Structure formats: C-alpha cells, structure tokens
Structure 1
Amino acid sequence: MKTGEDADRAAYCPVAERPARAELDRMLSDPRFHGTERHRKLLRYLVEEFFAGRSASVKAYTIAIDVFARPSSFDPATDPIVRVEASRLRAALAQYYEALGDEATLRIELPKGNYVPLFVRSDGKPPQVLLAPPPISSNVPEPPEQLSSTAVVGRRLSVAKVALAGVGVLAVAFAFYASMVDQFPWKPILSEKPTIIVDVEPQKLKDGEERRRVGGYLVHALSQFSSVRTLAQEPPEGIDVASVTGWVAPRSVVRLAGSKEYKLSISYNMANDAHELAWQVVDPQSNEALRSGALKRTLEDGGNAEEVQQALLVRLARALAGEDGVVTSLETARQLAAPSLGYGCVLQADMALSRTDAENFANALTCLERSLAYNANDPDVSASLAMVLVATGEAGTSPTRRNRALKLADRAVALAPQASQSYVAQMMARFAAGDREAAFLSGLRASALNPLDEAIPARMGLLRYISGHWSEGLRLARLAEENGEYAHHDAALTLALDAYRGRRYEEALLRVRQLANSSDRVVNLLRLAVAGQLGLTQEATNALGEVRSPEGPLEISLTAEPATRNYAPELAAAIEDGLGKASLQINGNP
C-alpha cells in the first residue's frame, strides 16, 4: 500500500523513472550543455532526491550541506550560494534546450519557488506537463525565491494555446493566458530602478532656506541619472520649493511596485570657509545604515560658496547613482542574490559590459530577451539589449543583429527621450553600423541630458579615439578620469591606446595591467602588442594565453576581432605590428 507521500509522487509523476534518468544522463554528457560541475552535481542531486521521494524536504540548507559542502552552521540569509547556483542552473538548462531545439523529446526544468525538477515533453506531441512540482511542505516555511533572469517564458504561452486548441479558438487561448498568468508559480519577479528619498537635516532651526537649496539641487543632480528615481520628503511648512528650484515635492511618497527604496540623509554644515557634507544611505524598512561618508571642500579649492556647495553635491550624486555608485552597487548585489527580470537584467547587462566575458554576456542577453518578452515598452531594457548586442560584436558581424540593435536603441529613445542611457545605446548602435557622425550626435545629446555621468564621455571618448579623432577622444577620456570617483574602463583604455600610439610603451603596459581582466579580449590584445614592442616574452606568453581560445588559431590578428574592426588604419597597423613582434618572440624567433 502506498504512503501519502508515495501517492503524491504517483499523481505528479506519470512519466517513468527510467526515461527521466536517461534524459538526465544524456544531457550531462552532451558537450552542448554548458553547466559547470557545480550545476551538474546540483541537478543530479535534485533528480535523485525526487525519485527517492524526498523533494518536499529539499531546502536551501540541505542543498548547501549535501551538494556544496557547507558547514552545519550554514545560513542561507547570509550566504546566497544555493539561490545563485540554482539560478545559474536554470539559465544553463534554458540555453541548452533552446540550442537543442526539436531534438529534445523530454526536457528537464527547474521552476522557481522550490527545488523540484519538472519534466516536459517536447517531441512534437501536444506540450503535456509530465511532472509538476508537488506542493511545498508547510512545516518548513521558506521565503519564495525571485525568478531567474533566464526562466523560460515562451513555454507557458504555448501550453495555454495548445490546451485550448481543441476548441479552435486562438483568441480564447490568449485571453486565458492573460487571465491566468498571475497564477502560475513561475511568474517572473519584475524589478524597477531603485528609488532614492532625499532628506536634508537642518543644522539649526533657521537653516530652512539652506536645507531647501541643498535638497533641491541634490534632487536635480540625481534626477539626471537614468539609474535611479529620486523623491524628496515633504518640505517644512512655509517653504515654497517650486518658487526657487522649479521642482515640486510630492505630498506623499509614491511607491513603485518592484522598486527598492533607499533613504538618503544629508547633513550640510558651513563653518567659516569650509563646507562639510555628511551623508548616509539607510534602508527605510529595517532602518539599517547601508553606507555612509563625508565630503569636505573649502573656498581655497576654488569657487565661491555656491559653487563649492554645488561641486560637493555633484560629487555625491555621482558617488550614489553613477555606474559604480553606492546605490547601483547595492542593487547589483541584490540582483546576484535574488535574480529578477526588468531592471535586474539591466544591472546584469551593466556587469557584463564592465567585465566583458562571454558567460556574463550570454546571461545578460537571455535575461534581457525574457524581460522584453514580458514588457516590450521598457526603454531601459531596450537600451541595454542594444548595447550588449554591440559589445559582443554581434551587431558588427551580423546585419540582422545590427539592424535589431539600431531598432532597439531608437525605440529606447522614443520611449524615454529624456534618458541619457537611451542616447548612449543609440550612439553605440550607430557607431557599429558605420554611421559615425550620427553616433557622435547621439553621444552629445546624452552628455547634454546628463553632464554629471562620467561614463558618457568615457564611452564617447573611446569611440572618437579609435576612429581617428585623437585629440577629441583623449580630451573626453581625461574629462571622465578627472570627474569620476573611479577610473572608467573605456577612459582607461583610451589612455592606454594613446600611450601605445605615442610609443610610450612602459606607460601603456602599466595602464593595461591596471585594466587586467582575463575575459577582456581588447585589453589583452593591446597587452600582447605592448609586450611585443618591449620584447617581454613572458608577458607576451601570458597575454596570448588570455586571448587564445583552446580551439583557436595559433596566430592572433586584429582584423579577426569584431570589437576592433572600427579602429582607424593607423592605430590598427600599430597594434598589428606589436602583435607580430610578440608572435616572433613567443615562437623563439626574435
């Protein structure tokens, strides 16, 4: 006689155990499955536990202990390894079955909300769910996880369509899907850009005027960044903010679903000729102080009192909402721990653009495509997807991808004409398409919309430099370097390229070493060329190891790199010369 648990398994498992295990073994041995060893171990564990009837007891804690060898003191609240690896496994599964196409007759999926595998037939027969996840045991409560950026979207719609195809009413299928989508357990979590609530604390009761000016200017500075929403708390009674700043504070904070809120507390003090600004980013829900800092400037540093004040507030806005800003970094960490679609994918794309490695780009592409499938009118997602298509080189080698990148960027501009990021995406897409003058016009528009974001002159400066506008590109790179809290990748690369072109090879080597990233092919190509010019055989060998893929050609040529095809002939020839010398040194023919 079957126990209650066995009965549940029988009800949820009409597929035989043997073909399910056979599919697992086949997939894990298939070179097209790009999961890591951790992912393979995790998936096999989950399938084994399912067929052993123990899925209801599989939690983040048990996985951490049994699969990832964490100690018994493991706390999932402080160590997100299980959530992160499960999300990456879902991404690997989705990518694998997309690549497999019609070859798969049985798919293994891992829906969100639990760790129970799901088997779905895909052999040309009606998409019938063969193995649905059993209900989560109420004895061991566990907060629901957010959806991986790569959860399979199209399957839900196809299941709903086919289920109603028997009655021959396709419109009804769409209506059914629309009405039921919120009920599916694997509905995605959609995130929005974070909200910063500005609160300036007066030092004295009579400081209301100063508080108004500081708060108004800071809101104005933060609102220029596309990465955040900015709100201010209600002004004190009797203060008319609109008459001074033109900005009207809401009477009550408008909360946006899916948007994390951060309270920014500011204390501004002026003593003699010194201006001091203390700030603190607080989680309003827990009242936890997340980050804090202080800035100081005197009139001796240049400018009158108002100019000094504005310079401090601009520095703070950049430090909070810039590409490597505090709030941006906090949101990126949240996305890594609990992936989501929407703005979460934009952050994932930003990570990929800064690290330039294939795995991050693949994950970001999948995440952005899923987000676009749910909301085709998200300008941030459209802009990010266009930039990723350009950065991977796909827009430069495929006319279809190039046109798509242009359309996505143009759509982002149409949807958000006041967002600088939309124009940055348009600049990159136009440049990849060969329309350089139009690209730089888009870059100028982005700079005009947000003159505070050092990432804009950094990106535009690199494009100007590699296309042969040496002085202008160098000026923009230095501007970005001067204004930024951190050295932006594109500005640093421009300065490294200029040192190489000027035959200042020692300086170029120092700069490329500072940009060291094993997955950044452009940087490592330049490093290889510099090593060739300096006669550094070991440096050249190390750089070649980073550039060459295991199955790649022995000879490395700049012309074969999609990311460097827009280089001006003079620059390309100089780098090619260094690559040739490096090749001779490595092969023992100096």
Structure 2
Amino acid sequence: MSRIVPNGQALKLAVLEELHRAFDSGLDGASERQRALLSYLVTEELEGRGERVKAYSIATEVFSRPNDFDPQQDSIVRVEAGRLRQALERYYLTEGKNASIVISIPKGQYRPVFTPAPALEAAIPAAEVAAAKRGSGRAFLLIGLTLAVAIAGAAAWRFLVMAPPPLAAGARSPIVAVAPFEWHADKEGQEFIAGGLQADLADVLSDYQWMTVIPLNDETSAGAMDGGAKPDFTVRASLRLISDQVKATVLLLDGRTNAVRWTNRYEMRLSAGDVMAMQRDLVAKIGRDVGNPFGIVADIARVQADAIQASSDEALSCQLRAFHYWKTFKSQDYAPAWRCFAAAEARGPLDAETLSIGALLTLDPHNFRLSDFSLPEARARASDMAARAASMNDTDFLARVAQYASSLCAGDVEAFRAQARETIERFPNNPLALADVGARFVLGSGDYAEGVALIEKARAIAADLTPTDTIAVTIDAMRRGEYDDRPRLRRAASRTDSTIILTVELALAAARGDYERVSGIRARLSDLGLADQRRIGEALDATCWSQNIRDLVKSKVTLAFTEARAH
C-alpha cells in the first residue's frame, strides 16, 4: 500500500472528514483510548510530524504514562495500536466500505496511511496528488486550528474540521467564530503561554452542539469564510501577563456589524508557572459564559428568533425557548416552549434535536399542569420521540439526554446508567451533561456518590446553570440527615413557580424547623393549586425519581403540614 502524505488542502480535508465519519460510526467498539490514539496519529501525520511518532511519545502524550515509560516493561502502546488496527479493519469492511478515503496503520509502525478511493483522487487537483505522493511533509492550517487539541475530545471533531455552513434563509444554529487570542507580556519569551488557547476554546465551545463553532486564523477573517458568509458572532480575546497576573478581556462581536454585544474580564494568577492549569481554567470560564445554552449567545439568539417568528427558523426557535425555560423553570416560559413544539410537530416531520426537546418537555412535571396527557401517556410519547431522535442522530447531545431520561422514567435503570455514562464519556467537559447526569444519578438511580461528584465537576466549570443540580445536592444532604439552609435552592425557589423546586424547599424548611419559611412556601404552592399534601404528592409522583427519594421528600412534606399546625 503506497503512502499518501496529504499536504494538499482538498486531500487533507478528505482525511479529516473521513476521520469524523469513522468516529460518528463508533468504529465498531473502539474504546475512547483507541479513538484518542487515532486522533493523535492522524494529527501528527497531517502536521508533518509523523516520522517523529514513537511508542514513547504515544505513551506519554496520549496515555498519560510518566516520563520514565519503558516500552519493554509496559506494552500499552503495542496492545492499543493492535486493537485500533482491528477496529479500523472491521470499520472498512462494514460501515466504512464506501468510504472515500481509507485510514490504516500498517503493522510494525505507528504512522497512518491514507489511501483515497479512485473517485476522490480524480476530484483532487492533480498538482495536490502529485505533491502528496512525493511525500512532502509541510504543515498546513485548517482554519487556524491546532489539531493536536483534538486528542482531548474526539467527539468534537465533526465541529472542528467541517467547513462553515452557508447562511441560508432556512433554519440553522448560530455560527460562532473564534478569533486568535491577542497576547501581551511584560517580558520577552513568554509568547508560548498563549499557545493553543484559541483551539482550546473552540474545543470547549464545540461541546455545546446547539451552535456551530468556526476557528479563524490570520488569513481567514470572519468576513472571508466559504461563500462569503459571515458568522453570527465572533469571539475576540486579549490577554496581558503582568508578573504572575493574567488579565483577559473577552468581546462578543456581532458578526455582521462588528458591534460589541457583550464583554467580560477575567483575572487569575499564574501560580507556580502552571500554564496548563491557567489555560484550562480560563477557557472553561469563557466557554461557560459564551457557549452554554443559558449564556449570552443563547439569550441574544432567542430574542432574535422571537422577533423574526419565521417558520423556517421554527426548530431553532423551539430549541431556544426550551433552553430559556430550563434556565427559569417558570410556567410562563414552559408554555411557549411547549406550544412551539406542538406547532412544529403538527406541521410535519421533525429533526432529531426538536424531537429530543419534545421528549424532554413532555417528561417535565410542568407538562402535567399544562397538557391533557396522563402520566403513562406522556412517558410513552416521550420514549417514542427519544427513540426516533436517537435513530436519526445518536451522536447528538440532546438526543442522548432524551434517550437516557426516557429510560429512567420507564424504569429501566440499567439502560439509563449505561446511556448516561456513555454520554459523560463523549461530553466530558460539558457542564450541562455532567450536572444533568449527576442529578439523575442522585434522584433516579441511587448512585449518590457518583452523582454528587459529577455535579461538583460541573460546578467547577460553570458555577450556576439551572436549579436541577441544586435539588439533587439538597436531597442528597437530606438523605444523610443534613438540613442546613441552601442559599442556591432558596434563590431558585424565589424566582420560579416550579412545583418541584418549591416542594423541595418546603421539605428542607420543615426538616430544619423553619416554620415561617414553611408558611410562605405553602402559600405559594396554594396559589399554584397545590394546597394539600395529596396534590403535592401527585406532583412528586410525576417526577422520574426513585421511590426512596420520593418517600423521603413526602415524609418531610407531611412534617410541614402536621408540625406547622402546632406552630
């Protein structure tokens, strides 16, 4: 098999597109470790560093082995490379049999070989193919992104390497361009500290599948993308290092007018020269503020969608309305989201994301106050929508959430655990995934320690997303006999009319003996039509919580009604 070194742009893009197709197919059981190895090997080859790849570099850079790694004593590289070869062979015999380019790793070496199908080779300019076959190892820029970052998250590949979609009149997700970071330091020789920040931020933002992320470079400006299109937003950042203090100013610019839509400043200390920790913390904070569905881009996009009210944008509008509801948990925000989904469903076939949102809205306890579905009917409908969404796109984040949520509500706890843990493996840096799975572990499956650990990890990335994780942490504390006041829960209860949030706050206040608080929450629940224990119990039974958790909360609600009378 002859080696193709894809230094030509068209051929390189073909290799990368084939890589993310292989990842999307699952590579027939390849582990995350083997996916990371494939990402690394392809990246190094494309960057012209293939000849330098050895067992030692793979062990230390991919598998986190220590610097004293000895391949004679530790066979991890040889074993994982062999398993990866088998996974690739199975892939090209099955799902990848019609692939336009074949990625292989010959035995006895770690450098990948890229072999284009005849149809692809005919479509590539002859000069590129000729140059590739001569073995040129020139590095290339793919919209300015340092591809080595993909090792940290193979699931992000399809966002990082695909060309930006045209800005058509039809429905689409917001496009966010990430510009190179500007860097200023008070000493020479410190420029390396900013290296990779743009790529790291693009990687973090790409975990939020509801938008498309386009990294830019010095040659590809926001106004010179494919087809002359412009992004909806551009993120620009300026960093300054003064002694050991890093100060970052981040701007979110309107992609068409270049007007500043949002800005924020971040300050952190470069303690003990730990550059990687500083970079990780910085991009996590920026990614949280810019990218999460409850952040600034989503808020602006929702307002725009509400103003346009175009049927072609209906799917995106429904998605943004749902995100807004999950930020507030108010009936007044649930109703528009539900009506939007119902109207979209009535018009015809739905895409995977809209089906997933419909499933999650159907499972929401608010639904039983605003729709005519019985509890079994709602769960059956949600399960059907989640299954259809997964069959259309099982790599989509929302489709995965709908799938494991409906499994939990159907009582299939083992399926829920498997699907939820797979979601965490695929989206390890997405605080929404971490917090949601963690909360469901605590409330639904009894995996308390694991659930709380996931919530803590989510909060380290994004301090305050939705009240869901707060409910789970509060109930876990109650389960352990701890009834301290929870400021997060109190704030959430003051801002929402969610029966569940108010009920948990009522239970906690009763357990703590705060009957003034109990009286105030009971009055609010009464205004919502839940003046007695029976109605509150029915609302709790509409959740997909475990029986133990529901019984725990109900016991404290009983305390709120019985003891309150004595006070």
**For the Cα contact (< 8 Å) 1:263–1:282, is it kept in 2?**
yes
Alignment of 1:46-57 (within 5 A): none
Q: Is the alpha carbon distance of 1:412 and 1:526 closer, same or farther for their aligned partners in structure 2, counting shifts above 3 Å?
A: same
Partner residue, 1:574: 552
Partner residue, 1:300: 271
Tell me the CA shift for residue 419 of structure 1.
2.4
Q: Is the alpha carbon distance of 1:416 and 1:271 closer, same or farther for their aligned partners in structure 2, counting shifts above 3 Å?
A: farther
**Aligned with residue 485 of structure 2, among 507, 521, 538:** 507
Offset from partner CA, 1:10-59 (integer Å, 9 cap, x none): xxxxxxxxxxxxxxxxxxxxxxxxxxxxxxxxxxxxxxxxxxxxxxxxxx
In 2, the alpha carbon distance for the partners of 1:221 and 1:404 equals 33
Is residue 263 from structure 1 mapped to residue 259 from structure 2 by the alignment? no
Partner residue, 1:369: 342
Tell me the CA shift for residue 272 of structure 1.
5.1
**Aligned with residue 383 of structure 1, among 345, 356, 368:** 356
Offset from partner CA, 1:375-416 (integer Å, 9 cap, x none): 634222111111111113659954333232123223333333
Deviates more, 1:198-207 or 1:213-222: 198-207
Q: Is the alpha carbon distance of 1:531 and 1:419 closer, same or farther for their aligned partners in structure 2, counting shifts above 3 Å?
A: same
In 2, the alpha carbon distance for the partners of 1:256 and 1:515 equals 48
Q: Which has the higher contact order (CA 8 A, sep 6+)?
A: 2
**Aligned with residue 481 of structure 1, among 443, 459, 462:** 459
Partner residue, 1:200: 180
**Aligned with residue 230 of structure 1, among 203, 213, 229:** 213
Where 2:423 maps in the other structure, the secondary structure is helix
Offset from partner CA, 1:329-367 (integer Å, 9 cap, x none): 222333444445111111111222333333432321221
Offset from partner CA, 1:526-570 (integer Å, 9 cap, x none): 222233334443322221122235655633465412555543344
**Aligned with residue 430 of structure 1, among 407, 410, 416:** 407
Q: Which amino acid is 2:173 matched to?
A: K
Q: Is the alpha carbon distance of 1:255 and 1:376 closer, same or farther for their aligned partners in structure 2, counting shifts above 3 Å?
A: farther
Q: Is the alpha carbon distance of 1:536 and 1:251 closer, same or farther for their aligned partners in structure 2, counting shifts above 3 Å?
A: closer
Where 1:560 maps in the other structure, the secondary structure is helix
**For the Cα contact (< 8 Å) 1:500–1:508, is it kept in 2?**
no
Partner residue, 2:424: 447
TM-score (norm 1): 0.58
Partner residue, 2:301: 331
Partner residue, 1:405: 382
Alignment of 1:344-355 (within 5 A): 344-355=317-328
In 1, the alpha carbon distance for the partners of 2:329 and 2:488 equals 20
Q: Is the alpha carbon distance of 1:569 and 1:419 closer, same or farther for their aligned partners in structure 2, counting shifts above 3 Å?
A: closer
Tell me the CA shift for residue 374 of structure 1.
4.8
**For the Cα contact (< 8 Å) 1:393–1:563, is it kept in 2?**
no
Is residue 463 from structure 1 mapped to residue 440 from structure 2 by the alignment? yes
Tell me the CA shift for residue 291 of structure 1.
0.9
Partner residue, 2:159: none
Partner residue, 2:289: 319
Offset from partner CA, 1:509-532 (integer Å, 9 cap, x none): 773455434411112112222333
Q: Which amino acid is 1:320 matched to?
A: V
Alignment of 1:98-109 (within 5 A): none
**Aligned with residue 397 of structure 2, among 420, 435, 439:** 420
Q: Is the alpha carbon distance of 1:281 and 1:250 closer, same or farther for their aligned partners in structure 2, counting shifts above 3 Å?
A: closer
In 1, the alpha carbon distance for the partners of 2:257 and 2:351 equals 30
Is residue 543 from structure 1 mapped to residue 521 from structure 2 by the alignment? yes
**Aligned with residue 365 of structure 2, among 389, 392, 397:** 392
Is residue 529 from structure 1 mapped to residue 529 from structure 2 by the alignment? no
User: Higher Cα Rg: structure 1 or 2?
Assistant: 1
In 1, the alpha carbon distance for the partners of 2:392 and 2:243 equals 47
**For the Cα contact (< 8 Å) 1:558–1:572, is it kept in 2?**
no
Q: Which amino acid is 2:356 matched to?
A: A
Which blocks of at least 5 consecutive residues in structure 2 are unaligned? 1-168
Tell me the CA shift for residue 201 of structure 1.
4.7
Partner residue, 1:280: 251
Q: Is the alpha carbon distance of 1:333 and 1:485 closer, same or farther for their aligned partners in structure 2, counting shifts above 3 Å?
A: farther
Alignment of 1:7-406 (within 5 A): 191-203=171-183, 213-236=196-219, 252-254=224-226, 261-270=232-241, 273-300=244-271, 304-340=274-310, 341-374=314-347, 376-392=349-365, 397-406=374-383
How many residue pairs get matched?
388
**For the Cα contact (< 8 Å) 2:231–2:255, is it kept in 1?**
no
Q: Which amino acid is 2:499 matched to?
A: R
Q: Is the alpha carbon distance of 1:404 and 1:269 closer, same or farther for their aligned partners in structure 2, counting shifts above 3 Å?
A: same
Partner residue, 1:112: none
In 2, the alpha carbon distance for the partners of 1:537 and 1:306 equals 49
Tell me the CA shift for residue 581 of structure 1.
2.2
Q: Is the alpha carbon distance of 1:391 and 1:510 closer, same or farther for their aligned partners in structure 2, counting shifts above 3 Å?
A: closer
In 1, the alpha carbon distance for the partners of 2:564 and 2:397 equals 45
Deviates more, 1:402-411 or 1:211-220: 211-220
TM-score (norm 2): 0.61
Is residue 472 from structure 1 mapped to residue 450 from structure 2 by the alignment? yes
**For the Cα contact (< 8 Å) 1:522–1:563, is it kept in 2?**
no
In 2, the alpha carbon distance for the partners of 1:253 and 1:397 equals 50
**For the Cα contact (< 8 Å) 1:224–1:449, is it kept in 2?**
no
Offset from partner CA, 1:184-214 (integer Å, 9 cap, x none): xxxxx86422111111154489999887733
In 1, the alpha carbon distance for the partners of 2:492 and 2:367 equals 27
Tell me the CA shift for residue 431 of structure 1.
1.2
In 1, the alpha carbon distance for the partners of 2:558 and 2:540 equals 19
**For the Cα contact (< 8 Å) 2:329–2:496, is it kept in 1?**
no
In 2, the alpha carbon distance for the partners of 1:197 and 1:431 equals 37
Tell me the CA shift for residue 429 of structure 1.
1.5
**For the Cα contact (< 8 Å) 2:493–2:505, is it kept in 1?**
no
Q: Is the alpha carbon distance of 1:550 and 1:381 closer, same or farther for their aligned partners in structure 2, counting shifts above 3 Å?
A: closer
Q: Which amino acid is 1:496 matched to?
A: T
**For the Cα contact (< 8 Å) 1:221–1:314, is it kept in 2?**
yes
Tell me the CA shift for residue 436 of structure 1.
1.9
Q: Is the alpha carbon distance of 1:549 and 1:430 closer, same or farther for their aligned partners in structure 2, counting shifts above 3 Å?
A: farther
Tell me the CA shift for residue 256 of structure 1.
11
Q: Is the alpha carbon distance of 1:557 and 1:478 closer, same or farther for their aligned partners in structure 2, counting shifts above 3 Å?
A: farther
**For the Cα contact (< 8 Å) 2:533–2:557, is it kept in 1?**
no
Where 2:176 maps in the other structure, the secondary structure is strand
Where 2:180 maps in the other structure, the secondary structure is strand
Where 1:285 maps in the other structure, the secondary structure is coil
Q: Is the alpha carbon distance of 1:235 and 1:407 closer, same or farther for their aligned partners in structure 2, counting shifts above 3 Å?
A: farther
In 2, the alpha carbon distance for the partners of 1:491 and 1:550 equals 23
Where 2:261 maps in the other structure, the secondary structure is strand
Deviates more, 1:547-556 or 1:262-271: 547-556
Which blocks of at least 5 consecutive residues in structure 1 are unaligned? 1-188, 238-248
Q: Which amino acid is 2:205 matched to?
A: L
Tell me the CA shift for residue 305 of structure 1.
1.9
Deviates more, 1:514-523 or 1:554-563: 554-563
Give the root-mean-square deviation of aligned CA atoms: 3.5
In 1, the alpha carbon distance for the partners of 2:419 and 2:181 equals 39
Tell me the CA shift for residue 295 of structure 1.
2.4
